[in-house]
Amino acid sequence: MPDFWASTGYKLLHKQGDALTVSDDFLRSLFLRPEVAPVAESCDAELRLHDALMATPRRAVAGGELLSIADPDAQANYRVLLRFRDRLLAAPTLEAAYVNLFRGDGVDVPPIFVFLLTQIFLQHILGQDADPLQARMAECLFRVQKISVLDDGAVMAADDETVERLAETGGFGSLGELLRKQNTPTRSIDLDVLSADNAEIYWQRDERFDLAVSLNRGQPALDALMRVLERWVKHFLGVGVSIQHRREIDDKQWVWHVGLDAVASSVLNDLYNRETVEDGRMEQLLCLFELRFDDPADMRPAIAGRPVYLAMAIDSENHLKLKPQNLLLNLPLNRA
């Protein structure tokens, strides 16, 4: 298996036990991002600041240094990136910095940085013996998926950004976009479907994000997603859990649930509180899961041994936007 997701900068990080810590080279990779990398129009002050940060990526940056940059957009980009850098440096590990993003008054860094960290952790968790289907399903935790239901009942997930790009260009890049604007028909694009039979093709296309998967019950992709979520919880929380697919929640002693996205959280809350949920909202639910702790002592004593129900759902535009941080913040852990 070749290295995968090489563009994340994961290899630049240091390892502290099983956790990750920030290196100077990883910080330098942030300052090479297109949002702040110098361009032909960059002023002298911007060039000086960039050179200084590349030489000493942990250095403090005074407000006057930012105000001396002529381009206000460049100023704003530096402020955002430096705030993100400072959050990383303030925590003992990258894992702690990630969890801290979701505490307090809310996330104050752009989603692109949250997704980058999520992808890095998944790369770390999956490791060098990564299963290709698990790697593809891990994409669902940091990239929005477009969900389609085919005539035969197959529920398909495809990368939303890829679907939108192909819809614009027909697969012909800028030429396809021009043809579309001129109302010239272009060929339709069918994404390859990743399955157990062809899973190895993922390693040649790991950063193309152009492989669809079936989310139907019994399909290997759904099982792969459950295994990824189990490993995610184990890495961050240090507790073993098992997750299984469920058709419904038939439990008179339902005590705990976690939505894996905003829509699922809303629907589960209403169901738990025995409020009426309209058919349209119920139809947005894609999957229900049951999570059980391997050791009931890891749960809050009052509900030890009880299942935790999970769900994921699509929004009004058929997007699946998973929030894996929900599993880190909302499980009923025995903090003692």
Segment 88-105, tens digit of pLDDT: 999 999 999 999 999 877
Write down the pLDDT at residue 106.
Answer: 75
Q: What is the value of pTM for the model shown?
A: 0.92
Q: Single out the residue in 194, 214, 234 at which a domain terminates.
A: 214
**pLDDT digit string, tens, across residues 246-292:** 999 999 999 999 999 999 999 999 999 999 999 999 999 999 999 99
**pLDDT digit string, tens, across residues 187-196:** 445 789 999 9
In this structure, is residue 335 part of a structural domain? no
C-alpha separations of 159 from 25, 175, 288 in Å: 30, 22, 21
Taking the C-alpha atoms of residue 216 and residue 197, their distance in angstroms, rounded to an integer, is 16
Average pLDDT of the chain, as a whole number: 92
Nearest to 325 by CA among 147, 127, 121, 89: 121
Tokens read off for 253:
């002693």
- Residue 208, Cβ neighbours under 10 Å: how many? 10
Q: Using the predicted structure, report yes or no on whether residue 71 has a pLDDT greater than 50.
A: yes
Write down the pLDDT at residue 175.
Answer: 38
Q: Using the predicted structure, report yes or no on whether residue 30 has a pLDDT greater than 70.
A: yes
Res. 73 pLDDT band, cuts 50 70 90: very high
Q: Using the predicted structure, report yes or no on whether residue 77 has a pLDDT greater than 80.
A: yes
Its domain, for residue 89, covers: 6-126
In this structure, is residue 104 part of a structural domain? yes
Based on the domain organization, do 249 and 269 belong to the same domain?
yes
Query: Percent of the chain having pLDDT more than 70?
Result: 93
- Structurally, the chain folds into a number of domains equal to 3
Q: Single out the residue in 165, 180, 214 at which a domain terminates.
A: 214
Write down the pLDDT at residue 170.
Answer: 60
Residue 167: Cβ-neighbour burial (10 angstroms; 0-12, 13-18, 19+): middle
Extended strands (E) in the chain: 14-16, 19-21, 145-149, 155-159, 192-193, 211-214, 241-246, 257-259, 285-293, 308-313, 319-320
**pLDDT digit string, tens, across residues 282-291:** 999 999 999 9
Based on the domain organization, do 158 and 77 belong to the same domain?
no
Res. 151 pLDDT band, cuts 50 70 90: confident
Q: Using the predicted structure, report yes or no on whether residue 176 has a pLDDT greater than 90.
A: no
- DSSP strand pairing (192-193 vs 211-214): parallel
In this structure, is residue 1 part of a structural domain? no
Based on the domain organization, do 225 and 189 belong to the same domain?
no
Q: Which amino acid is at 17?
A: G
Side-chain-side CA neighbours of 250 within 13 Å: the count stands at 3
Q: Using the predicted structure, report yes or no on whether residue 45 has a pLDDT greater than 80.
A: yes
In this structure, is residue 84 part of a structural domain? yes
Write down the pLDDT at residue 153.
Answer: 87
